Chains A and B, each alone.
Chain A
Amino acid sequence: MRSLRYAGPLRGVVFFALLASLPSFNLAHWVLNILVFTLMYAVMSSSWNLVGGFAGYPSLGHAAFFGIGAYTMALWFQHRAIHSGYEPFLLLPLVGLLAAAIGLPVAVIAMRTRSDVFAIVTITLLFVTQTLAFNLRGLTKGAQGLSIAAPPFSARTFERPFYYTLIVLLALAMGITFGAMRSKLGLSLAAVRADEDKARGIGVRVLGVKLLSFSVSVGLTAMVGGIWAYYEGFIYPQFAVDPLVTIAIVLMTFLGGRATLWGPVLGAFILETGQQTLAYSLGGSQFYLIAYAMVFLLVMLLMPRGIVPSIQDRLRQRRRRTEVDAGAPRPSPPTMTRSSDTRTSVPALKGHA
């Protein structure tokens, strides 16, 4: 068991070391560009996972906070000069805090409802934000969009600052997830997801953990929005607050596996790289929307529990079998592996595999 205890952190160290060393391989710009977007989605689906996965509140409104982050960044630098090019990155924590603060009252109201109604409420929130972005012309310049001064980075290493900042953010998001899974917070969230009324009955501070997970989640999402705005240099309301962003985040988390540490990251790496390649090869035509929807439907129908939980179950079964063969006493299953809680049932797995 000793080796197992260090397997998780070791995996993390190897993963991040690999990620951090990638730019030094002199990759082409388009590859790095795809990587930057992949990291953006990895951060966002990891943070969506805190609310949608662990707490069981499927928010469809996260793109609104992505947009809030993007607009905050763009507005801040409307009348301020960018000298070294690194100022926007220093602003990011503030962007996150602002979005988290906006997220609190939103969560208080929206989280009065549950599951599908919560999803509806959050998706209308997304449309409200989009309408505001179009209509508050004095602030956002409406459909005209806003621009940010281009960073004075050399063209050869242009992507690197964005790339490394996103790695830090991903480490932060995954660190928070990891910490939550190992702590009482994670247990509380799992209790909320399984049965909120009972959880309240046994003394879980339901409102507190819900609000905390929601604001941390949207704060991280807004920070990605800020980076995106700076990276693109120009933002339009229809892209800054885009239902497709929401749906991509949700889909990635579902594909990889909800309420797991690695699922959302895995989902982002599979889907975003796939999507970018599709978009290149299909020339940005509308066929790509069809392809995207088909992938989405296939994932939902064939693998509703996601890749990571399916693999974990299979590994656990095999381990159990070998231990039984060796005559060893059966270990009690680990208490906090999310995939093995209420959702796991062997018939369901057989039915969908």
Chain B
Amino acid sequence: MHALIQGIILGVLTAGVYALMASGQTLIFGIMKVVNLAQGAMVILGAYLSYQLFTSFGIDPLLAIPITTVAMFIVGVAVQLLFLRPLKSEDRSELSLLVTFAVALLLEGIMSVTWKTSVRSINTGYANSSWTVFGYQITLVRLWAFLLSIAALLVLYLLLNRTRFGRAIRATVQNPESARLLGVESSRVSALGFGLGAATAAAAGSVYGLLYPFNSGSHYDLISRLLSIVLLGGLGSIGGAVVGALIVSTSSAVVASTISPSWSEMTFFVILLLVLLIRPQGLFGTTARGAI
């Protein structure tokens, strides 16, 4: 019982960072109908950037977030303009999938040339402090990560719901043709939307770097988890991404604490399998477009 509750606490705290990564990915899908396989690599790149800021300039990863998000926003816009916009042919969704895979490989290559392949971790002063509440351990760094992810999600929510740009994005998600008729420039929205997705990846990367050691190959683990979360929540639904992250992260943490850590990875896939068998469009996905 103790292990179960400890697992639930850990899972909920970890869910924040996954929700953040997945919301970026699902946002990109919502806007462009592109499944971004490079999202994991972008997260790891964000983690490396904040690692570099921490080791070279002593900037705390949590404070580095404004810098890394801006940098990754630019990277994201560049990727969209250079590699995704030129795709015109009929099977664009298929091609864009492969292109983002290639971008993931490119980022992996660049990262392993720049930072080598040895495993890095960001060791802040508070990395090892923790509280014990009613016999359950809560590490400070995880609590921070959770609060920060929630804050970033809140910013994303406000951006989407309270700004002109957000309105344009939501309009594009719901109906690109009507949005275009109403004067939304969809190509610009696509570029900025991809940038926004990359920026959430950067924010998540800073948090991820605090929580886990990583190297350039870590993005394979991440992307497989992200895909399970996004499919569970329903492609294109940000609320779905958050709920999906909660479910997936909690159940895998419970499996890790009650059965064995090496099988926690499988939880993702078992959940995914169940989703596909029972509800292929995901929890909050619609067969029509426009769930955000």
Contact = CB atoms under 8 A, between A and B. Distances in A.
Contacts of B220: 127, 243
Interface string B87-114: 1111101111111011101101110110
B103 A112 contact: no
Contacts of B273: 109
Interface residues of A, number: 47
Interface in A292-319: 292-294, 296-297, 300-301, 304-305
A58 B94 CA distance: 7
Given A247-B105, A286-B113, A131 B97 contact: no
Contact of B231 (A120, A127, A244, A250): A120
B272 interface: yes
B156 interface: no
Given A128-B266, A128-B269, A120 B105 contact: no
B228 A58 contact: no
B95 A300 contact: yes
B117 A286 contact: yes
Contacts of A243: 220
A214 to B, nearest CB: 16
Given A124-B228, A352-B89, A135 B263 contact: yes
A116 B35 contact: yes
Interface in A109-123: 109-110, 112-113, 115-117, 119-121, 123
Given A120-B35, A254-B98, A352-B89, A293 B106 contact: yes
Interface in A273-307: 285-290, 292-294, 296-297, 300-301, 304-305
A123 B276 CA distance: 14
Given A127-B224, A351-B88, A293 B98 contact: no
A352 B273 CA distance: 38
Interface in B234-292: 235, 262-263, 265-266, 268-269, 272-273, 276-277, 280
B103 A293 contact: yes
B83 interface: yes
Contacts of A115: 91, 93-94
Contacts of A294: 106
B86 interface: yes
A285 B109 CA distance: 9
Nearest to A137: B262
A184 interface: no
Contact of B280 (A56, A58, A60, A112): A112
Contacts of B97: 58, 116, 119
Contacts of A352: 88-89
Interface string A330-353: 000000000000110000100110
A124 B272 contact: yes
B43 interface: no
A288 B113 CA distance: 10
B157 to A, nearest CB: 25
A314 B228 CA distance: 43
Nearest to B269: A128
Interface in B15-55: 33, 35, 37
B207 interface: no
Given A116-B93, A123-B224, A127-B269, A289 B108 contact: yes
**What are the nearest 3 A-B pairs in CB distance?**
A289-B109, A290-B109, A293-B106
Given A109-B273, A112-B280, A290-B109, 4 more contacts: A116-B97, A131-B265, A287-B109, A300-B87
Interface of A: 56, 58, 60, 109-110, 112-113, 115-117, 119-121, 123-124, 127-128, 131-132, 134-135, 243-244, 247, 250-251, 254, 285-290, 292-294, 296-297, 300-301, 304-305, 342-343, 348, 351-352
Interface of B: 33, 35, 37, 83, 86-91, 93-99, 101-103, 105-106, 108-110, 112-113, 117, 216, 220-221, 224, 227-228, 231, 235, 262-263, 265-266, 268-269, 272-273, 276-277, 280
